[in-house]
Amino acid sequence: MTGRALHFVFKVADRTKTIKFYKEVLGMSILRHEEFTQGCEAACNGPYDNRWSKTMVGYGPENNHFVIELTYNYSVENYKLGNDFLGITLKSSAVLENAKNLDWPIGFEENVPYVTAPGGYKFYVLDEPQPLDKDPIVNIILSSTNLQKSVKFWNEILGLNIFNQSSSYAELGFGDEQAKLQLKAIKEPINHETAYGRIAFSVLTTDLKRYQENAQNNQYKILTPFVTLDTPGKASVSVVIFADPDDHEICFVGDKEFRELSQFDPEAEKCLNKYIAKDEARKLNK
């Protein structure tokens, strides 16, 4: 089984502050932006049936970089953060310089500096030159209440390889050069709250139903069975949404169609700014 790490989905309540952070502090670019008039059949925007938007940001094309999906629900003004998402690690001394220049707070955890995005999402920063020949994103850290059960699901059911493992964490992924998933043991129940996210991978479209059957046959949850989602004017993509033993949401998408859907849009930032301006004007006129 082969696959590719794609992105992590964050729900954001303030697009203006959020975009400033990802562009000016992390130094990411706007890759594409899409607006939707109603909720997603695969709950891409959470359990909301309303107007919403999706903005993809990252250090390079989605074809070969792990990126961030920023989901904005027009009717939701705040989200509560749980202990399910623990952070994302990246290599970039420039991030720390950007934060200092913008007076953006820099925290430390076990001597590792981090910056926090609006909404409370942490980005741990390895103080090294940002690599030019590979993705700066190192890993995505999610909590686990039972590493043995978690690793069994991610490795045996979803097919991710185990790269590192100890009594306190496990690091898995589809490829050595890709961003890894790090599962970190915590000694308390996991609370996903309303800000819960979702990690996405692509696999062969023809393998999606096999992954679904494998999970079902082993009594794991399928949150959204195989479905094909349409994006107006773009490729239709088939997906299956899983839940791991700690109810972390995982999206598997068909790789070929997703590559077509996720092409860089040079008009994305202009489009996003237009909708942000409209939204800010609407708030002022309330």
Per-residue pLDDT in tens (0 to 9) along the chain, 286 residues: 589 999 999 999 999 999 999 999 999 999 999 999 888 888 888 989 899 999 999 999 999 999 999 999 998 999 999 999 999 999 999 999 999 999 999 999 999 999 999 999 999 999 999 998 889 999 999 999 999 999 999 999 999 999 999 999 999 999 999 999 999 999 999 999 999 999 999 999 999 999 999 999 999 999 999 999 887 778 889 999 999 999 999 999 999 999 999 999 999 999 999 999 988 887 777 6
Domain 3-280, second-level architecture: Roll (3.10)
C-alpha distances in Å from residue 144, one per residue of 81, 112, 248:
16, 21, 9
Question: How large is the greatest C-alpha to C-alpha distance in the chain, in angstroms?
Answer: 55
Cα–Cα distance for residue pair 161/197, rounded to 1 Å: 22
CA 29 – CA 27 distance, rounded (Å)? 7
What integer pLDDT is reported at residue 101 of this predicted model?
98
In whole angstroms, give the CA distance from residue 192 to residue 176.
Answer: 29
Give the number of other Cβ atoms within 10 Å of residue 285's Cβ: 6
Give Cβ neighbours of residue 148 (< 8 Å, ≥ 6 apart).
none
> How many Å apart are CA 33 and CA 238, to the nearest integer?
20
- pLDDT for 16: 94
- Residues 6 or more apart whose CB falls under 8 angstroms from that of 179 comprise 5, 66, 135, 137, 138, 139, 140, 173
Mapped onto helix, strand or coil, the DSSP state of residue 267 is: coil
Q: What are the structural domain ranges in the chain? A: 3-280
**Residue 40: per-residue pLDDT:** 87
Predicted local confidence at residue 30, as pLDDT? 98
